[in-house]
Structure 1
Amino acid sequence: MASIRLENIVKRYGAFTGVKHMSLDIADEEFLVLLGPSGCGKTTTMRMIAGLEEPTEGQIIIGDEVVNEIDARDRDVAMVFQGYALYPNMSIYENIRFPLRMRKIARDKHDALIRQAADMVELGDYLDRKPGALSGGQRQRAALARAVVRQPQVFLMDEPLSNLDAKLRASMRVQIKHMQRQLKVTTVYVTHDQIEAMTLADRIVIMNGGAIQQVGTPDEIYTDPANTFVAGFIGSPPMNLIEGTAAAGRFTAPGVSAPCPAHLSGAITLGVRPEDCRVSGDELTGTVYGVEPTGDVTYLTVAFGERQMEVKAARDFRADIDTPIGIGFDADRLYYFDETGNRIREVA
């Protein structure tokens, strides 16, 4: 298979810069997820890797070859899109076969390759049907099989699960990860869904405004966010971010008083994840704004001052709206960010 290297990639559209000086190494067989909000540059980056967009500056290297001047069809990458892009007049068998015909693979090899790919996504019994006769999940699996059958160096997947309902997305995530591990193909996956990113990725690249905010494993991104953007983007619910002031080893804000490193002073932002809060304590005082039981956990929204924060409470926690409440923080799991939003890591 192949590694991918992006060297100082820039993509401009007139005066607008969609991707800003992006450098990234993607290891052979790695499952890398580009994650970020709409318009952050993640799909543009993927399209440049595929050859569907040309970088304004920089180099794209697949394996040992600079591919900037190589047409998309000659880059030996396979793409799976949000839309299934299946030919409605062809059977699933012929849809999967199409890339083999385009790449002029010997016809006597087609049937075995098609059935192997179909079996990998559990579509072996549906090969004679047309796309209109399949469910959304089955059509997406057919699109995956069509990508798999080519045995490419690289898989590129652009929000392939966005059109599926929650239950199908969960099952398809498992199937995609299992398939990628079987095939050992370098995979770049684009999504705005942080659950997909956390469950699928070997590493996540978080993007915003065309620039990389952080690169790391799912655990690193979650437990060690580089800035307030990453902290507030990852997590369900995301990290609570409270602006306030540090002085003499205490962080204070309206309704909040919590410990902080003694060397911090002035305006900072305190970060605390919902699961690192407890329903008892005096770090935060407020009122119950909302209670959402989900079966295994209760999500509690607490209003304090003019703000709100999210707390993961015990599954059996219940309280009336507007009830006064005190919230405690796990002092070992607090995060601090400076006025620019960057993480404060070092103790002076």
Structure 2
Amino acid sequence: MASIQLKNVVKSFGSFIGVQDMTLNIADEEFLVLLGPSGCGKTTTMRMIAGLEHPTGGEIRIGGDLMNEVDARDRDVAMVFQGYALYPNMSIYENIRFPLRMRKIPKVRHDELIQRAAEMVELGLFLDRKPGALSGGQRQRAALARAIVRQPQVFLMDEPLSNLDAKLRASMRVQIKHLQRELRVTTVYVTHDQIEAMTLADRIVIMNKGVIQQIGTPDEIYSNPANTFVAGFIGSPPMNLIPGSASNGIFIAEGMTAPCPSGLSGKVTLGIRPEDCRVGGDNLHGVVYGVEPTGDVTYLTVRTASRKIEIKAARDFRAGIDSAVTVGYDPDRLYFFGEDGNRVGAD
């Protein structure tokens, strides 16, 4: 298998910079997720690793070897796409077999390799069917089997679960994670879905406008967001971000005050996650704007004089719209961000 190194990689499209000065080291056998909104540069980064796009500047190495001028077919990587990319006129067996034929693997080995890959994704009983006769989840598993059969040194997965319903996405996440651990293949996975990122990744790279915002484990990203973009992107619902000002160890915003680091002054944004808020207390006063029971938790939106606050309330909490409510929070779970958006007072 192989490590991947990107050093000062730039990709521009005319005057538009898609990826800006990216330096990133991906360890051998690591499962790394590129996460961010549409247009942030994550798919462009993957395409450069694959050789489908060439960097405008910088270096890309796989297994220590410089890849900048190496054709995609010679990089020993396998890609899994959002759209499955199966040949509709071929059986699943022939779809999985296709990479073996292209790489001129001896025919005597084909059946063994195909059967092994199919069993790993639980498709052994469907090899004679064509893609149109399979469900979305089965077609995605066929695409995975086609990547597995190549035995590449790198897997590249570009939003492979986006076309599936919620239940299938959950089961496929488990299967992809298990397969990656079993195969021990370095994997780069692109998604805009934070749940996929948090559940799959060894490390997450959060991108915005072509620039890396933060790199860390899921726990590090969630517990110690580097800036307001990361804080507002990770979490469901995302962190409440409340603009205000700080002076003499006190944060002040309309309708609330809170203790803050003594050295903090000027314009400041306070962050507090919905699960660290509670109904009751005297930190904030407002009215109920929305109540969303989900079974295990109730999502409550409280409207104050100038903003809306999201809270994870008890599963049995109910209240009428526009009824008065007070909100408390855990003072040890407050985050503060400076005028530039970067976190202050971080561990």
Do the two structures share a fold, i.e. TM-score over 0.5? yes
Tell me how far apart the structure 1 counterparts of residues 65 and 264 of structure 2 sit (CA, whole Å).
Answer: 49
**Could you say what secondary structure the match of 1:48 adopts?**
helix
1:93 lines up with 2:93 in the alignment: yes
| 1:246 equivalent in structure 2 | 246
Q: Which runs of structure 2 are paired with 1:121-160 in the superposition (5 Å)? A: 121-160=121-160
Tell me how far apart the structure 2 counterparts of residues 286 and 252 of structure 1 sit (CA, whole Å).
Answer: 17
| Structure 1 residue 230 displacement after superposition | 0.2
Tell me how far apart the structure 2 counterparts of residues 123 and 336 of structure 1 sit (CA, whole Å).
Answer: 50
Matching residue's letter, 2:131? P
Q: Which runs of structure 2 are paired with 1:202-241 in the superposition (5 Å)? A: 202-241=202-241
| 1:75 equivalent in structure 2 | 75
Q: Does structure 1 conserve the Cα–Cα contact (< 8 Å) formed by 2:261 and 2:345? A: no
TM-score by length of 1: 0.98
- Give per-residue Cα distances to partners, 1:120-159, cap 9 Å, x unaligned: 0000000000000000000000000000000000000000
Q: Does structure 2 conserve the Cα–Cα contact (< 8 Å) formed by 1:254 and 1:304? A: no
| 2:38 equivalent in structure 1 | 38
| Structure 1 residue 346 displacement after superposition | 6.0
TM-score by length of 2: 0.99
> Aligned pairs, how many?
347
Tell me how far apart the structure 2 counterparts of residues 318 and 249 of structure 1 sit (CA, whole Å).
Answer: 36
Matching residue's letter, 2:283? E
| Structure 1 residue 306 displacement after superposition | 2.5
- Give per-residue Cα distances to partners, 1:106-129, cap 9 Å, x unaligned: 110000000000000000000000
- Give per-residue Cα distances to partners, 1:231-277, cap 9 Å, x unaligned: 00000000000001112322121122222122222210000000000
**Could you say what secondary structure the match of 2:145 adopts?**
helix
| 2:16 equivalent in structure 1 | 16
Q: Does structure 2 conserve the Cα–Cα contact (< 8 Å) formed by 1:255 and 1:286? A: no
Deviates more, 1:304-313 or 1:109-118: 304-313
Tell me how far apart the structure 2 counterparts of residues 281 and 250 of structure 1 sit (CA, whole Å).
Answer: 19
Tell me how far apart the structure 2 counterparts of residues 127 and 346 of structure 1 sit (CA, whole Å).
Answer: 53
| Structure 1 residue 171 displacement after superposition | 0.4
Tell me how far apart the structure 2 counterparts of residues 64 and 19 of structure 1 sit (CA, whole Å).
Answer: 22
| 2:199 equivalent in structure 1 | 199
**Could you say what secondary structure the match of 2:11 adopts?**
strand
Q: Does structure 2 conserve the Cα–Cα contact (< 8 Å) formed by 1:336 and 1:344? A: yes
| 2:6 equivalent in structure 1 | 6
Tell me how far apart the structure 2 counterparts of residues 261 and 314 of structure 1 sit (CA, whole Å).
Answer: 31
Q: Does structure 2 conserve the Cα–Cα contact (< 8 Å) formed by 1:30 and 1:202? A: yes
| Structure 1 residue 287 displacement after superposition | 1.0
Q: Does structure 1 conserve the Cα–Cα contact (< 8 Å) formed by 2:224 and 2:346? A: no
| 2:170 equivalent in structure 1 | 170
Tell me how far apart the structure 1 counterparts of residues 317 and 344 of structure 2 sit (CA, whole Å).
Answer: 34
| 1:339 equivalent in structure 2 | 339
| Structure 1 residue 213 displacement after superposition | 0.1
Root-mean-square deviation (Å): 0.9
- Give per-residue Cα distances to partners, 1:62-118, cap 9 Å, x unaligned: 002001111000000000001010000100000000000000001100000000000
Gaps of 5+ in 1: none
Tell me how far apart the structure 1 counterparts of residues 172 and 346 of structure 2 sit (CA, whole Å).
Answer: 41
Tell me how far apart the structure 2 counterparts of residues 136 and 169 of structure 1 sit (CA, whole Å).
Answer: 10
Matching residue's letter, 2:158? D
Tell me how far apart the structure 2 counterparts of residues 57 and 245 of structure 1 sit (CA, whole Å).
Answer: 41
Q: Does structure 1 conserve the Cα–Cα contact (< 8 Å) formed by 2:244 and 2:268? A: yes
| 2:28 equivalent in structure 1 | 28
**Could you say what secondary structure the match of 1:282 adopts?**
strand
Q: Which runs of structure 2 are paired with 1:100-119 in the superposition (5 Å)? A: 100-119=100-119
